[in-house]
Amino acid sequence: MFNEYDVIVVGAGHAGCEAAAAAANLGSKVLLITMDMNKIAQMSCNPAMGGIAKGQIVREIDAIGGYSGIISDLSTIQFRMLNRSKGPAMWSPRTQNDRMLFSMYWREHLENTPNVDFWQDMVVSLLIENKKVCGVRTGMGQEIRSKSVVLTNGTFLNGIIHIGQKQFGGGRIGEKAASGLTEQLIQLGMESGRMKTGTPPRVDGRSLDYTKMEVQEGDQEPEKFSYSNKTTPVKNQRPCWITYTNTNVHEVLKTGFDDSPMYAGRIQGLGPRYCPSIEDKINRFAERDRHQIFVEPEGWNTVEIYVNGFSTSLPDHVQFKALRLIPGFENAKIFRPGYAIEYDYFPPTQLSLSLETKNIDNLFFAGQINGTTGYEEAACQGLMAGINAHLKINEREPFILSRSEAYIGVLIDDLVNKGTDEPYRMFTSRAEYRLMLRQDNGDIRLTEKSHDIGLASVESLKAVHVKIEQTESLVKYFNKTSITPSEANPFLVNHETNPIPQNYKLFQILSRPQISLLDMAKELDIVSKFTETYTKETLLQAEVLMKYDGYLEKEKLLVEKMNRLEDFAIPLDFDFLTVKSISLEAREKLQKQKPKTLGQASRISGISPSDVSILMVHLGR
């Protein structure tokens, strides 16, 4: 019935979809196995993409040739660029999305991707021969052979759903859990752990009183995720709203603590630190008398509302009673209660930087199985795992991004070298080179690298080259062209900055914090000619390069310094236990994780700078 596949992808969430698309677009014959074809790319939690640091990841996925940015643009109901009041390293795009359209467009794109086949079934075990994966066995008894396998199981591995004292097996509400794989992988020598995540109740938007809430509109000039011309910014937008809990809400929630699975000890796994449940918030931040609630529509043509900020696993009757004490929710009708889900994951220190497992050849992990949380984190891992599964079976070098090249590189490096014992979420603060890893230059950083391995298109690469050429010509023009006081001063006074006494270079005018290149292009004839042929994105790119020139140079020097450690290779057969001059703890960690370079060794938790120096001397001998 089945021929042998190049890549089998298990699970069709955000990681699985990106993995299948990437491997297929590189030329592999791919089988995507999912338990429900109607739940492809399901937005299991909030109907949104991007946000702080996550928006940068979506843009990086798009620059490499993944689909998440395009799908997000096609299903956008609201766009906002977060952190506009801060520097450009912090700007992060975010979309509110139509949940049903998002899933529909993902399935449509996969069905229109040559080399992708589908099979609806549960994978219960892997086919392993000589420590090498060679296929999967399904619940229906099918044995399907392949050259590689990518596991993207999400929250389904031995998943248990908790609502108060009620608990039952499931990967999502209404969907059964997957069993068998964890047990097999443990037998094969891998370590597993438990994590938990949660989701809030969904309510009927017709029953809410929006006059008691703050309206939150999208940007007046919305942008989009994809660098390509395949999508356009959303024209009409739906608003979201903000309301707040209060002390009465908190008191009602506390009455359910005795039945809370988290506080009663029925949940063993750790939940996401930066997206805590509402009961966790009022327990950890007892001094606060209110918490923000975001009221988010689930799409264009539905009344269903996502109550962002009210994630909970308390008994359903406690949830309902507390919800109705929130301003605007007095008559709320609930579609379904919030719940927590506990599931298996595998500590990601058991992976190489290509996301291949160290124990089993040609087996790759991506998404929540690696201990991450969030669609964007999952999607980028899926993209990289799909790429590397294809490259591995074709005996090509893995595609690995460094910490100075992409947020994706930071994420994977953190997971593999530091590990995680709580759901990992990306933040700008995790990236030490974040001024270089902006949302506006993902295409410049990554598209050529992706094109070199055969994924990013020729058209995408040409567009990047045009952007680079235009940016460089603009920077050159600003550095050599002067403006007179008579031309500049009315503009400067209008923007509340000091007039100039003599001719100044345009670069000097732009360096003032009150001045933007877009303002100059709109109001100064000497600059306005560029708006006819240059895109807004190119103008912004040039502005960042000029305004932050000194800071960027410092960051580049730091990267060069760190790269010297990255280039210092450690032999594969090196025995770290023989280096007696470093601590036993450090030796054991190094021996277990087997870093390939000194740079990688330096980022392992518990390894000190002095340990790295000693290693450098030892290896130098």
The candidate with the shortest Cα–Cα distance to 376, out of 279, 322, 442, is: 442
- The amino acid at 369: I
Residue 449, pLDDT score: 98
pLDDT score of 51 more than 90? yes
Sign of the C-alpha dihedral computed for residues 393, 601, 607 and 436 taken in this order: negative
Residue 243 pLDDT exceeds 90: yes
pLDDT digits (tens, 9 = 90+) for 247-290: 999 999 999 888 777 665 666 666 666 567 888 888 888 889 99
CB-CB contact of 37 with 121 (8 Å): no
Q: pLDDT value at position 262?
A: 66
Q: Give residue 14's pLDDT.
A: 98
Q: How far is CA 484 from the centre of its chain?
A: 47
Residue 621 has pLDDT above 60, yes or no: no
Mean pLDDT of 399-426: 93
Residue by residue, DSSP assigns 263-305 as TTT---SBPPTTS--HHHHHHHTTT-S--EEEEEE--TT--EE
Cα–Cα distance, 384 to 482 (Å, whole number) = 47
DSSP symbols for 573-586:
T--GGG-TTS-HHH
| pLDDT number for residue 116 | 98
| Confidence grade of residue 18 (pLDDT, cut at 50, 70, 90) | very high
Which of 112, 45, 115 lies closest to 368, judged by CA?
45
DSSP-assigned letters across all residues of 386-409: HHHHHHHHTT-------TTT-HHH
Average pLDDT over residues 178-194: 93
Q: What is the DSSP letter of 437?
A: S
Nearest to 84 by CA among 74, 75, 93: 93
Q: What is the pLDDT of residue 297?
A: 97
Q: For residues 429 and 2, is the Cβ–Cβ distance under 8 A? A: no
Range 348-354 average pLDDT: 96
318 pLDDT more than 90: yes
The confidence band for 89, taking pLDDT boundaries of 50, 70 and 90, is confident
* Residue 314 DSSP symbol: S
Mean pLDDT, residues 529-549: 88
392 phi/psi in degrees, rounded to 5: -65, -45
Tell me which residue of 237, 249, 236 sits closest to 293, measured CA to CA: 249
Of 184, 547, 556, residue with least CA distance to 357 = 184
451 CB neighbour count, 10 Å cutoff: 18
Instruction: Please write the tens of the pLDDT for every residue from 371-382.
Output: 999 999 999 999
Taking the model in full, what pTM does it have?
Answer: 0.91
Pick 76 or 177 by higher pLDDT: 76
Question: What pLDDT does residue 166 have?
Answer: 85
The DSSP call for residue 208 is: -
pLDDT band at 1 (very low <50, low <70, confident <90, very high): low
pLDDT at 233 (0 to 100) = 96
Distance CA 118, CA 37 (A): 8
Q: What is the pLDDT of residue 387?
A: 98
Q: Judge whether residue 461 has pLDDT over 60.
A: yes
The pLDDT score that the predictor gives to residue 264 is 59
Report whether pLDDT(510) > 80. yes
Determine the Cα–Cα distance for residues 371 and 476; give it in Å rounded to an integer. Answer: 46
pLDDT band at 565 (very low <50, low <70, confident <90, very high): confident
| More confident call, 127 vs 264 | 127
Q: What is the pLDDT of residue 282?
A: 87
Buried/exposed 519-554: b ≥16 CB within 10 Å, e otherwise = ebbeebebbeebeeebeebbbbbbbbbbbbeeebee
Which is nearest to 278 in space by CA: 249, 304, 305?
Answer: 249
Q: Mean per-residue pLDDT for 553-563?
A: 85
Q: What's the CA gap between 415 and 355, in Å, rounded? A: 10
| Distance of alpha carbon 307 from alpha carbon 296, whole angstroms | 7
**Distance between CA atoms of residues 328 and 72, nearest Å:** 29
Higher pLDDT, 269 or 604: 604
Band (588; pLDDT cuts 50, 70, 90): confident
pLDDT band at 613 (very low <50, low <70, confident <90, very high): confident
Q: How far apart are CA 169 and CA 417, in angstroms?
A: 32
In this prediction, residue 81 carries a pLDDT of 96
pLDDT of residue 273: 66
Contact 392, 354 (CB under 8 A): yes
Over residues 428-452, mean pLDDT: 94
